[in-house]
Amino acid sequence: MSDGPKTSRPTVLLSEEQIRRRVCELAAEIAGNHPETDELVCLGVLKGSVFFLVDLVRALPMPVAIDFVQTSSYGSASKPGEVSIKKDVDLSLAGRDVLVVEDVVDTGHTLARLLGLLRLREPRSLELCALLDKPDRREVEVTIDYLGFSIPDRFVVGYGLDHAEAYRNLPYIAVLEPDGAPR
């Protein structure tokens, strides 16, 4: 029985359990690629990656340092995908192993720009771990070294992802319908 959108439960795209298991697998993959590192700098892209980052680092066996960067996009029709740094990294990245942790790679503009800027800081290694990828939306190429899930071109919320700052605290990932409610 359904009472319509107001009382129906959100339809889950990725459950808590699916996310939990995938995060552990990603951590094992990352650890396998960095057997020798004395420390991995995990750099979360605010705000969407926060839930993913805290779960991921707790599953990593090596010492980690944590830092955050925040971007804002101000693209327009004439200049699509313009991205600026709203909050810069506090730590020095030179000579260190850096893992950028992002919620979702959509058009790719944010990550392409951010990785370009971070490379200028001369880290020893620079990799990207993204929870979600929407390959159908890509406008610029981005190499995702560790990917949680590839998803269709739908707007999703939960587990850190928002719509106008709402829904971040859903423990799962849900598709947001055009009427603004997760289905």
Our finding on whether 148 is near Mg ion (CB under 5 A) is: no
- Six-digit token string for 157: 């919320």
- Shortest reach from residue 26's CB to Mg ion, in Å: 17
Please give the Cα distance from 14 to 3 (Å, whole number).
Answer: 24
Instruction: Please list every residue from 159 through 178 that binds ligand IMP, using CB under 6 A.
Output: 161
Binding test (CB under 5 A) with Mg ion, winner from 55, 97, 103, 133 = 103
| Integer CA distances (angstroms), 99 to 19, 42, 67, 168, 179, in order | 19, 5, 10, 23, 36
Stretch that binds ligand IMP, among 52-60, 88-96, 120-128, 154-162 (CB under 6 A): 154-162
Q: Which is nearer to ligand IMP, 37 or 49 (CB)?
A: 49
Our finding on whether 155 is near ligand IMP (CB under 6 A) is: yes
Q: How far is CA 81 from its chain centroid?
A: 17
Which parts of 31-159 are beta strand (E)? 40-46, 64-73, 83-87, 97-105, 125-133, 146-150, 156-157
- Residue of 67, 106, 153, 162 marked catalytic: 106
Our finding on whether 133 is near Mg ion (CB under 5 A) is: no
Catalytic, 97? Answer no
Our finding on whether 48 is near Mg ion (CB under 5 A) is: yes
Instruction: Please list every residue from 47 through 66 that binds ligand IMP, using CB under 6 A.
Output: 48
Our finding on whether 37 is near ligand IMP (CB under 6 A) is: no
Which residues have a Cβ under 8 Å from the Cβ of 82 and sit 6 or more positions away?
73, 74, 75, 76, 109
- Shortest reach from residue 170's CB to ligand IMP, in Å: 12
Binding test (CB under 6 A) with ligand IMP, winner from 55, 97, 106, 127 = 106
| Integer CA distances (angstroms), 26 to 45, 52, 101, 155, in order | 17, 11, 11, 23
In the block, tokens 């944010």 appear at 110
- Six-digit token string for 82: 């313009």
Q: Which residues are at the interface with Mg ion (CB under 5 A)?
A: 45, 48, 103
Q: Which residues are at the interface with ligand IMP (CB under 6 A)?
A: 48, 102-110, 155-157, 161
